[in-house]
Chain A
Amino acid sequence: MRIAPILALLLALATIAAVVPVSRVVDPGPSLLFTVWGMPFEDALFRDRYARVYDELNPRTRVEYQRHGPDLIAKYNAWHTLGKGADVMRIRITEYAGMAARGMLEPLTQFIESDNPSLAMGVADYRDIPAHLRTIIEIGGEVYAIPEDNAQYGLFYNRAIFDRHNAEHPDQRVEYPNPDWRWGDLRRAARLLTRADESGRTVQFGIDFHIWAWPFMTFFAQAGGELWSEDGLTCLIDSPAGVETLEFFRAMQREDGSFSPSFGWDTGVGAEARFANGQTAMYFDGSWRVPNFEIVAPGLDFAVSPLPRGRRPAVVSGCVLWAISANSRHKEEAWRMIRWLTAPEQAIEYWDTLRVAPPARDSVLRSERFRTTSGVPKAGRPGEYEVPPLTPERFEDRAAWLLYANTPHPETGEPPGFVPVHEFQTDLEMIIQRMLEAYLNPSNTETAQDVLGRAVREIHGVMDRDRAAKGLPRVDRGNSQG
């Protein structure tokens, strides 16, 4: 018995079996590939209230639902190189301009303004999208995605700390934050509400926030600054507004001692944990943090106010959108689904379940259904929630502030909300974050102008490199530093 040849044969057969591609049954009929990213419990919204419902409402269309991890953009890129793509894609505003520039997204104006009533999005509907979002989705007169939400930056405050201070120091009263506060009011409140122990270690933080681009960009805008030049070729953060912003942060940190920065993100620790533990009086973060605090610190007496204003009222916000891949084979069908997803009746579901950001529809924000939510219950654990419901009593404290960014401000006539958008926005935001980390390091001695100048040189370097690679002419920025 010669074993060896038999084994060799078995190996060969096994190898062939492993290598020959198994042909999959291809489902005939239109099917829409619907891709999102998110935590497992977000299936409660995207799969249960969106994908399955749309599938049932449209018997001729099958919806294939895929939920991926946070690096979905890498997958979108990989698919695009293969000439394929999802039909209904969820994308971030930070990726939007880049993807449109690379030809990954299908232009949607043809559908929005179509003569076919089953496709067209009426003028009223389109204008229901908040104005500051409409300006950013329009690139060169064309629209490539419809906004799903508008996550805003807000001022969280611990009411118990305010009350306690006012009880102990009636001569130095601090009112609750409100959107008419100027930077001076914020600074004063932060200073008064900071407490240190005998060794000098801060035990109660007057003000706290994560160090990333948003705090800088919002205060910068409030100081009157513009991130980019008109033609988009020059970054302008090294303007006096930038200096003012940085020096404001540093003053609160070094002069008042009311701000002790925590750098970067690590969900579960850092500035948000301090606020959740009741150690922070005022805290900046995005709207997505509200349900989090309700879960991890159910006893915390907190409310959220719109941001204070500087010279100008301004609220930085983000946006998640729905788009159609340029490689999609069912563009009309995909558009119908997007139109359905962003209609008020479906948009409110986003708020009703996840409550991470207000839907991108003015009418929804003013509707009754906005004032209360169902949340997302934990599977198999009755009474426990992944996302707690919002009760009407809590609306004023925890959700009413979201209307501020979308409402025309009495002074300027414009809604204060804005979404920073640019082809190199992601690069700029990373550079801003590193700049803040350096500048706010307790031992750093550079001036604001130094670090801003360095950041601007860096972003220009990235842009110039990209232009050079594409054979575009050099940008003359009029100064030797470029």
Chain B
Amino acid sequence: MSARRPSLPLRLGVHAAVYLAAATMVFPFLWMVLTSLKTDAEALSPEFSLLPESPRWSNYAEAWTSVELGRFCVNSFLVASVTTLLAGAHNTLAGYAFAKLRFGGRRMLFLLTLATMMLPIQVFFVFAYLIADWAGYVDSLQGLIVPFLASAFGIYYMRQAVAGVPDSLLEAGRLDGMSELEMLWRIVRPTVWPAIAALGIFTFVASWNSFFWPLILIDSRDHKTMPLAIAELSAGIYVHSWPVRMAAATILTAPLVLVFLAFQRAFVRGVALTGLKE
């Protein structure tokens, strides 16, 4: 921005404000982990204590075994990975088509695609369920994957990303006689790759965390995903163990945080690339 350096008090003030805000982002999770290591009595006692007396790692074992998180973890991972890989490819293809190719009905199809984001799932899931049943997807992991192999959000996002690639590059490619597929792979992809990575993270996270559709679709334990398992710890009118719930929440959260930290540089570059040009 401005080349002038603001005064020291102002700089300190801004840093303080931002870091305070950053602390509020992190602190609830810190609290979650700390609570997960306490005993029930410690957690519920009216006296405030930050750290547990002695870390109760057995809460994690209890969370893991009481809900059989192992299998759910595998299911969630399978569904999220397959969805991310395939949806990433298809959303990119569609985004490219909408951004750079001329064809009849482009505007109308795009608007129709966007419009699908506007009706809440609670209204139409019954019909989606009927269709899933007709296709044989009920109570299967496929049913969790197939409806998400493309999404309006993903297509919109990739369209924005691809729009940033200069048309001149593509014209040159066409003059060289390259097919659209080749141009996508050779010219567009290297530029747009961070955006694809970013979308990949969005998709993986959304799939990993999705709750409502699996709740309705999945019946048998073999096919349940992690959020369903975590939610089970709230079933029934019992006094629940908060530390065990926190342990379960940590188990649910940790993999995503690690994945995000690993890919966050690519991710940020990808977000930047969308630029959102009109």
Direct contact of A and B (CB under 8 A): yes
Q: Which residues of A contact B (CB under 8 A)?
A: 2-5, 7-8, 11, 14-15, 18-19, 21-24, 37-42, 66-71, 74-75, 78, 81-82, 265, 267-269, 272-273, 276-277, 286, 288-289, 292, 295-296, 356, 378-380
B185 and A42 within 8 A (CB): no
A379 and B238 within 8 A (CB): no
Cβ-defined partner of A40 (8 Å) among B67, B182, B237: B67
B140 and A21 within 8 A (CB): yes
List 23 A-B residue pairs with CB atoms under 8 Å apart, sorted by A's residue number: A4-B182, A11-B90, A21-B136, A22-B140, A22-B142, A40-B66, A40-B67, A42-B236, A66-B220, A69-B215, A69-B232, A69-B235, A70-B234, A74-B215, A78-B129, A81-B130, A265-B237, A267-B237, A269-B44, A272-B239, A295-B239, A379-B65, A379-B66
B238 and A292 within 8 A (CB): yes
Residue-by-residue, is B170-191 near A (CB-CB < 8 Å gives 1, otherwise 0)? Answer: 0000000001011011100000
Complex CA gap A67/B236 in Å reads 12
Interface: B219 (CB within 8 A): yes
Known A18-B145, A39-B232: A66·B82 in contact at CB below 8 Å: no
- 17 additional A-B pairs beyond A4-B184, A21-B140, beta carbons within 8 Å, are A4-B185, A5-B181, A18-B82, A18-B145, A21-B135, A21-B136, A38-B235, A40-B67, A40-B233, A69-B232, A69-B234, A74-B216, A81-B129, A267-B234, A288-B237, A292-B239, A378-B62
Complex CA gap A69/B221 in Å reads 11
A19 and B146 within 8 A (CB): yes
DSSP class of B's interface residues: helix, strand, loop or mixed?
helix
In the complex, what's the smallest C-beta–C-beta distance from B94 to chain A, in angstroms?
A: 13
Complex CA gap A68/B214 in Å reads 12
Q: Which residues of B contact A267 (CB under 8 A)?
A: 234, 237-240
Complex CA gap A397/B259 in Å reads 54
Q: Which 10 A-B pairs have the closest CB atoms?
A: A21-B136, A4-B185, A292-B239, A4-B181, A4-B182, A39-B236, A40-B66, A70-B235, A82-B133, A39-B235
Q: Which residues of B contact A (CB under 8 A)?
A: 40-41, 44, 46, 61-62, 65-68, 82, 85-86, 89-90, 126, 129-130, 133, 135-138, 140, 142, 145-146, 149, 179, 181-182, 184-186, 215-216, 219-221, 228, 231-240, 242
Q: Which residues of B contact A19 (CB under 8 A)?
A: 142, 146, 149
Complex CA gap A379/B68 in Å reads 12
A7 and B40 within 8 A (CB): no
Cβ-defined partner of A69 (8 Å) among B40, B86, B231, B238: B231
